[in-house]
Structures are given as C-alpha cells and as structure tokens.
Amino acid sequence: YEFHDMQMLMTAMCHSSYANEHRQRQIHDNERLEFLGDAVLEVSSSDFLFHQYPDMPEGKLTKLRASIVCEPTLALCAREIHLEQYLLLGKGEEHTGGRYRDSIISDAMEALIGAIYLDGGFTNAKEFIHRFILTDLENKKLFYDSKTILQEIVQADMEEGISYHLIKEEGPDHNKSFTVEVKIGETVYGTGSGRTKKAAEQEAAYKAILKLKKQN
C-alpha cells in the first residue's frame, strides 16, 4: 500500500515515548490510530471467518478470532514485514528493548491498519489485513492456545511429562521480560519470551508443537 499522506504513516509508527520526548514539535503518538485499527481489524476478521467457516458455531468463531487478533499473533505478523525496524521510539524505550516488545509491535500493527483505513478507505485496509494477518490460520490457532494443545499431543503420543522452566528474567518491575523453556521429559523442545511468564510459556509451547510436527 502506498500512502497519500506520509504523515499518517509517520504517526502510525510513533510510540508515545517518542512523542513525549518531542513535545515541542507537537508530534502525535499512534494510540488513537491503534484504537481505530483495532476496530477495523475486528470487523474484517469477523467478516472473513463468518464466510470462511459457514458451519462453525459462534463460540468457536469467537475463539478463532481471538487467536488472530491477540498480541503475540499480531506481533508475529508485524515481524514478518519487519515493522519493528520503522518504529519511532524514545531513547529510554529504545534502550530497554521496546523495539522488540510484543505489546509495542502489535500496537503499531493496529495503528498501521488504522492509518491505511483513514488514508485509503476500508477496502485497502481489508486487503492489507487479508494479505498479512488472515493467513496461516492453523498455525495461529496453535499459537493462541499452545499450552493446552501441547499437553494434549504429549498425553496422546508420549510417556514423558511436560515442564516449564524460567531461564531468564530481566528489566525493571514495570517492564519485565521473561524467557522460559519447555521440556518434554529431560529434552528442551522450545524456548519463548514475553512480558509475562504465561506469554513466554505459550511461545515456548508453540515452538515445541512446531518441532513435534516437523519430527512427525
């Protein structure tokens, strides 16, 4: 997509930390665009799933949509187009690794959708969502509920138990980052990181599922 108003794109990439450091230039952060993009993403994904799965009940549709629009999945999609490279961050946020934080990257993805919607209309925003987010849904379903799915796979096919181990914890209390590895028996099958232990465990479990699928 090619922007008519490049300032709109700049705003979508502008984190609040950058805007706060450049107040004298009256730069706007991307939070309002994120709010708008979230709504555009929700209606686009709902419409897609409604027509893609005509026999799926409402409860399952809701769960599948949640897997598509959740923070880790959006961050995954954003990294596939290297969106993190273009973020405008304040010095402090940059120094603490904000450029690689799921929450910041996923917010920027939603802001980008909001910016495309304002700049080029709903059709262009919907096309962007279909091309870069509503793809590879089977893997995205795994990502959303990976701990449960891994548990089911291991219980059905393997004798060893699953255990999660915190191997690294860094950052101040308000901005922690956790790294967790998952073992099946004594073998490490995946490592994940996130702002919470639960998020790190989900990512580790997701990587373990992919490894098991590849082995099979």
Would you please indicate which residues are annotated as catalytic (active-site) residues? 38, 110
Do 84 and 105 form a contact (C-beta atoms < 8 A)? yes
Q: How far apart are CA 177 and CA 210, in angstroms?
A: 23
Do 190 and 171 form a contact (C-beta atoms < 8 A)? no
- The DSSP-derived string for 154-212 is HHHH-SSPEEEEEEEEES-GGG-EEEEEEEETTEEEEEEEESSHHHHHHHHHHHHHHHH
Do 133 and 74 form a contact (C-beta atoms < 8 A)? yes
94: its two tokens:
């940059």
H/E stretch holding 144 reads helix 137-144
Query: Within a 10 A sphere around the Cβ of 157, how many other Cβ atoms?
Result: 9
Q: How far apart are CA 93 and CA 15, in angstroms?
A: 9
Location of structure tokens 């956790």:
178
